[in-house]
Structure 1
Amino acid sequence: MTPLPHVLARGVDTLLDRTVAPGFTRVGPAVRRRLPTWPDDPAPGALAGRTVAVTGATSGLGLTAAEGMARLGARVRLVVRDVEKGERVRAQLLADVPGTDVAVDRCDVADLDDVRRFAAELDVDRLDVLVHNAGALPAERTESPQGHELTMAVHVLGPVLMTELLRERLAGHDARVVLVTSGGMYAQGLRADDPAYRCGDYSGTTAYARSKRAQVELLPLLASRWAGQQVGVHASHPGWADTPGVVESLPGFHRVVGRLLRDPAEGADTTVWLSAVQPAPRSGQLWHDRRARPTHLLRRTRTPDAERDRMWDWVRATTGLDG
């Protein structure tokens, strides 16, 4: 029988989650860390001897996640578009985490040809953790070099293709793939009928949320596809975190909610935890503040299996997975 304090704690945790605003802000971790149901931190050195790669690692949640994993002993690959900026971050990490092993790799995740080049040139024989953190939220409809809508390219097509191309190096040793998603996806249903966002007036925030919804909807299919190689896949939504991307892309939201936003460490906490905790969490789930969460809060966003399969067919065809 579950002790009463744990039952009450789970009730508080769930209430924070379902009411959204309190749980997504800094209030969420401030309360949850004091509950008896809060999971233990990863053991010191939990990632010693393991290699992790983090996309979009030059600022915000990506930089903080890379630093958190370096402090747990990981060898870190910073996967970035701007190598000069990446080298500055590398120098910062070497100063903040003495003795760590950090390298910089160039890759534009939106460019599928560049993803293929990166995977072919990555000079590691084994990869233990791959964090897909790179993000985009354009004000106007923008296309990737291959002509795909940018948010879908950065958040779905690039990460799926990159993982597939690195699958042999991830396989066979409890490797983990983490998609950094967004609570904004709760407001959007899957649009398998219009993945390129060609219908209706374009909204960057809507496109962003749709692509994050696609990430989450594909989780069970990706978990099944990669299970044979012992590669687990997880999605982690950070809540509302104070990052340069939020300031730049959502200035009005930042002005209104700024004081309640999480700091980057609170936003990246679950990503680091998922990458290091033992035993490995069950693959194919959405996580927030170290607990698996429902993928839908609204009935109107629920996804029929046929729509999920239709989106997966588009991803496979667009990335050439089965070609």
Structure 2
Amino acid sequence: MQLPRLVDAALDRLVVPGYSRLGYAARRAGWNTLRAGSLEGRTVLVTGASGGLGAATARGLVALGARVELVVRDRARGEQARAALHAEHPGATVDVAECDVSSLADVRRYAAEVRDREAAVHGLVHNAGVMPPERTETAEGHELALATHVLGPFLLTRELRPVLRAGASPTSPSRVVFVSSGGMYTASLPTDDPEFRSGTYSGGAAYARTKRMQVVLAELLADDLASDGIVVHSMHPGWADTPGVASSMPGFHRVTGPLLRTDAQGADTAVWLQAAPEAGHSTGVFWHDRAPRPTHYLPRGAETPQARAALWTLCVDATGEDA
């Protein structure tokens, strides 16, 4: 039985009930089971897939019949993740590809390889994430969280446009999913200093700022790619018990441990967005627990057209892509 809408919204406003395993348990009772084999014949690329939410997303996609490519920085860890998937699903088709999403040069290299070897790609999940303990720049001079969460995914999506377009059909669009965070509610779109060069740097603040940027970028890319039969969504996983949370936020992990979701529960909506028919009928939506969620709780927090345009210009200028 589906939760009443007001109850469902209240869970999120109260944060702990909605983001924890309690919210997941309350909501899943009203969900339809994804059809077995619903992703057969579809190829989905998942970044940051060697562990945590990325590996759990890959596991969920493989269980539905998808061919999955684990896009990882560390091939050895990627091979371990592939072995674990094969142990659970012996007949699955799982590939491993190296790409450091924070490096624009590496993203271009990887995207060119995909275009050369794949006739079509049907899905892309931007899951790779970082929470730097101190401000760090990539070799190309970009703040690490910005490069990993925003610039790299923007470039990869635009560079894969031809194969994503080839994977789309009138009844089944290709799907791009950004794994954002509920932490984005605490941040506004940083248009004046997107590289976080001013003020006291905080990895948590950089994470929240760039996760906010992801949500807006998903909306902008949704408009940009709509004519190609490609839908773009963003989602947040709630509070999931992943190695990244344990290492980056040990205090939070210690206090909330009993309430944290499993990685599979956190990844559920990302998998659902790749497989469910409903997600193919819209684009540019922010989701949590298989339902659209507001991107702001207060109307005055909404981004201005000028701020949205500034984010697009930042991505275009930093990556050298055509506007």
**Corresponding residue of 1:121:** 113
**Corresponding residue of 1:188:** 187
Given that 1:190 and 1:301 are in contact with CA atoms closer than 8 Å, whether structure 2 keeps it comes out as: no
Given that 1:187 and 1:298 are in contact with CA atoms closer than 8 Å, whether structure 2 keeps it comes out as: no
**Corresponding residue of 2:126:** 132
What are the within-5 Å matches in structure 2 for residues 157-196 of structure 1?
A: 157-171=151-165, 172-173=168-169, 174-196=173-195
Given that 1:80 and 1:108 are in contact with CA atoms closer than 8 Å, whether structure 2 keeps it comes out as: yes
What are the within-5 Å matches in structure 2 for residues 266-305 of structure 1?
A: 266-279=265-278, 280-298=280-298, 301-305=301-305
- Equivalent AA in structure 2 for residue 115 of structure 1: V
Cα deviation per residue 1:22-49 (whole Å; 9 max; x = unaligned)? 1001111111123xxx331221100001
% same residue: 53
> What's the offset of the Cα at 1:258?
0.9
> What's the offset of the Cα at 1:292?
0.4
TM norm structure 2? 0.95
> What's the offset of the Cα at 1:185?
0.3
**Corresponding residue of 1:61:** 53
Given that 1:69 and 1:272 are in contact with CA atoms closer than 8 Å, whether structure 2 keeps it comes out as: yes
> What's the offset of the Cα at 1:301?
3.6
**Corresponding residue of 1:152:** 146
**Corresponding residue of 1:81:** 73
TM norm structure 1? 0.95
- Equivalent AA in structure 2 for residue 317 of structure 1: D
- Equivalent AA in structure 2 for residue 99 of structure 1: G
Given that 2:272 and 2:290 are in contact with CA atoms closer than 8 Å, whether structure 1 keeps it comes out as: yes
What are the within-5 Å matches in structure 2 for residues 184-263 of structure 1?
A: 184-263=183-262
SS in 2 for 1:114: helix
- Equivalent AA in structure 2 for residue 293 of structure 1: R
- List alignment gaps of at least 5 residues for structure 2: none
**Corresponding residue of 1:104:** 96
SS in 2 for 1:233: strand
Cα deviation per residue 1:57-98 (whole Å; 9 max; x = unaligned)? 000000000010001000110000001111111111111111
Given that 1:189 and 1:300 are in contact with CA atoms closer than 8 Å, whether structure 2 keeps it comes out as: no
CA distance in 2: counterparts of 1:293 and 1:281, whole angstroms = 16
**Corresponding residue of 1:42:** 34
2:15 to 4, 20, 23: 20
> What's the offset of the Cα at 1:219?
2.4
CA distance in 1: counterparts of 2:40 and 2:200, whole angstroms = 49
With 291-300 and 178-187 compared, the bigger mean Cα shift is at 291-300
Given that 1:25 and 1:239 are in contact with CA atoms closer than 8 Å, whether structure 2 keeps it comes out as: yes
Given that 2:178 and 2:218 are in contact with CA atoms closer than 8 Å, whether structure 1 keeps it comes out as: no
With 141-150 and 278-287 compared, the bigger mean Cα shift is at 278-287
Q: What is the CA RMSD across the aligned residues, in angstroms? A: 1.3
With 186-195 and 13-22 compared, the bigger mean Cα shift is at 13-22
CA distance in 1: counterparts of 2:224 and 2:53, whole angstroms = 27
> What's the offset of the Cα at 1:144?
1.4
Given that 2:219 and 2:233 are in contact with CA atoms closer than 8 Å, whether structure 1 keeps it comes out as: no
- Equivalent AA in structure 2 for residue 14 of structure 1: A
- Equivalent AA in structure 1 for residue 6 of structure 2: G
Task: Count the aligned residue pairs.
Answer: 315
What are the within-5 Å matches in structure 2 for residues 87-98 of structure 1?
A: 87-98=79-90
CA distance in 1: counterparts of 2:64 and 2:310, whole angstroms = 40
CA distance in 1: counterparts of 2:77 and 2:268, whole angstroms = 23
> What's the offset of the Cα at 1:197?
0.3
What are the within-5 Å matches in structure 2 for residues 300-315 of structure 1?
A: 301-315=301-315
